[in-house]
């Protein structure tokens, strides 16, 4: 191991690039985020616990996590279909479709939120259709999920595409020749290959969704009673209400940060493990 390490250091620039990366990371990302930690420590632990366990805060975390989870699952299903269609089939408008997948990155979240809230309100096109089936979209959890599906879809599709491209079609053909059903082929041959990428996309979409603000505030209705307040909304509420509670906002932000880190970490772990398994 040690020998291997040494041999890799033949290349120049380790110290320099490492130094620059770490310095820039600390300066631009780490120090600002650490300030949140410092700020929330201005509260005593008792106060911190009391704030975090308040019913509206807990509810907001529950809402954020469940809605982001549901949205990510939906994104995984449709993202897989989209990626599959884009990689495997040829059809007119394919390139246009491929190019537009990243649109949610580029459209400001506020514009997305405003547009979606109108489209899915009972006066809007999709909203009135859903209303007939008895689903209230805008100003409910359904609306939140819709907004989060919108912001999360590129993460999943873009994570899957390169892996699918590398997956030779001969796999499926072989499996089919051997008499396996389509579903069996998918479950036993294709899905395992895709799992790490799917998980990565899922994790990123989930993490993004939990913290989402701009696209959600317009469509959610922000009602504590109906449990449609997101964590980011509660943070803004702490800041903008008549108390300008920076400490409280920092404390909730800290918990949100920890949850995102944890998610990111788990996803990376699972990816590493899954990666090892497929290599074998």
Partner 1 sequence: MKKEIVVKEKASNQKEGKRGTKPHGLVPCLLLGVGVLFFLIMLVFPLAEVIYRSLKEGLEVYGAAIMAENTLSALKVTLIATIIAVLVNTFFGLCASWCLTKFDFRGKNILSTLIDIPFSVSPVIAGLAYLMVFGRMGWATPYVEKINEFLGTDIALVFSVPGVVLATIFVTFPFVSRELIPVMQAQGTAEEEAAVMLGAKGSTVFRKVTFPHIKWALLYGIILCAARAFGEFGAVYAVSKARGKTFTLPLEVDALYMAGSAESITQAFAVSSLLVLLSIIILVLKQIVEYRGKREL
Partner 2 sequence: MRHGILKKVVAMGMSAVLLTGVLTGCGGGEKDNKEENDTISITNVSYDPTRELYAEYNKIFVEHYKKETGKTVEVTQSHGGSGSQARSVIEGNEADVVTLALAHDITLIEEAGMIKEGWLSEFEGNSSPYTSTITFLVRKGNEKGIKDWDDLVKEGVEVITPDPKSSGGACWNFLAAWYYADKKYNGDEESMKKFVSDLYKNVLVMDSGARGATTTFVENGQGDVLIAWENEALLSVQEHPDDYEMITPSISIKAEPSVAIVDENADKNGTQDVAKAYLEYLYSDEAQKLAGQNYYRPSNEEILKTFSDTFDLSVNMCTIDDFGGWDQAYKDFFDDDAIFDEIYSSTNE
Interface positions, 216-275, toward partner 2 (CB under 8 A): 217-218, 221-225, 233, 236-237, 239-244
Looking at residues 178 to 217 of the shown chain, list those that interact with partner 1 (rule: CB under 8 A): 182, 204, 207-208, 210-214
Which among 29, 66, 72 has a CA at the least distance from the CA of 267? 72
Segment interacting with partner 2 (CB under 8 A) among 27-35, 113-121, 158-166, 175-183 = 113-121
Q: How far apart are CA 53 and CA 192, in angstroms?
A: 40
**Environment class of residue 113 by beta-carbon count within 10 Å: exposed (0-12), middle (13-18) or buried (19+)?**
buried
> Any idea what the Cα angle at residue 152 is, between residues 239 and 248, rounded to 5°?
15
- Residue in 49, 81, 174, 191 binding partner 1, rule: CB under 8 A: 81
* DSSP assigned state of 105: H
Give CA 202 to chain center in angstroms: 6
Looking at residues 133 to 152 of the shown chain, list those that interact with partner 1 (rule: CB under 8 A): 149-150
Tokens representing residue 177 in the block = 């020749």
Tell me how far, at minimum, the Cβ of 127 lies from partner 2, in Å: 9
- Residue in 3, 9, 132, 279 binding partner 1, rule: CB under 8 A: 9
184 binding partner (options partner 2, partner 1, none; Cβ < 5 to 8 Å by kind): none
- Residue in 89, 133, 134, 179 binding partner 1, rule: CB under 8 A: 89
Residues 147/219, Cβ–Cβ less than 8 Å: yes
* DSSP assigned state of 1: -
Tell me how far, at minimum, the Cβ of 224 lies from partner 1, in Å: 18
Segment interacting with partner 1 (CB under 8 A) among 55-63, 76-84, 136-144, 188-196 = 76-84
168 belongs to the binding site for partner 1 (CB under 8 A): yes
φ, ψ of residue 137 to 5 degrees: the values are -90, -70
Q: How far apart are CA 212 and CA 146, in angstroms?
A: 12
φ, ψ of residue 220 to 5 degrees: the values are -85, -25
Looking at residues 23 to 42 of the shown chain, list those that interact with partner 1 (rule: CB under 8 A): 24-25, 28-33, 35-36, 38-39
Q: Binding residues for partner 2, per CB under 8 A?
A: 12-13, 16-17, 20, 54-55, 114, 117-118, 121-124, 138-139, 217-218, 221-225, 233, 236-237, 239-244
């Amino acid at each position: 191991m040690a020998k291997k390490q040494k041999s890799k250091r033949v290349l120049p620039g380790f110290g320099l690039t490492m130094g620059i990366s770490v310095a820039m990371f600390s300066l631009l990302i780490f120090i600002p985020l650490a300030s949140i930690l410092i700020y929330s420590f201005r509260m005593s632990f008792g106060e911190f616990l009391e704030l975090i366990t308040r019913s509206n805060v807990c509810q907001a975390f529950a809402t954020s996590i469940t809605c982001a989870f549901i949205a990510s699952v939906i994104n995984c299903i449709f993202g897989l279909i989209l990626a599959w269609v884009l990689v495997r089939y040829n059809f007119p408008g394919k390139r246009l479709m491929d190019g537009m997948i990243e649109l949610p990155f580029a459209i400001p979240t506020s514009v997305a939120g405003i547009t979606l809230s109108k489209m899915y309100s009972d006066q809007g096109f999709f909203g009135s259709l859903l209303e007939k089936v008895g689903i209230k979209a805008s100003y409910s959890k359904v609306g939140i999920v819709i907004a989060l599906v919108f912001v999360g879809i590129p993460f999943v599709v873009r994570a899957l595409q390169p892996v699918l491209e590398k997956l030779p079609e001969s796999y499926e053909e072989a499996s089919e020749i051997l008499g396996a059903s389509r579903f069996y082929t998918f479950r036993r041959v294709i899905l395992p290959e895709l799992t790490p990428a799917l998980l990565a996309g899922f994790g990123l979409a989930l993490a993004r969704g939990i913290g989402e603000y701009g696209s959600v505030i317009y469509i959610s209705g922000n009602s504590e009673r109906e449990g449609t307040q997101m964590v980011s909304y509660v943070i803004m509420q702490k800041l903008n209400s008549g108390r300008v509670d920076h400490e409280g906002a920092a404390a909730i932000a800290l918990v949100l940060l920890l949850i995102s880190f944890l998610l990111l970490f788990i996803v990376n772990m699972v990816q590493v493990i899954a990666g090892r398994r497929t290599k074998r």
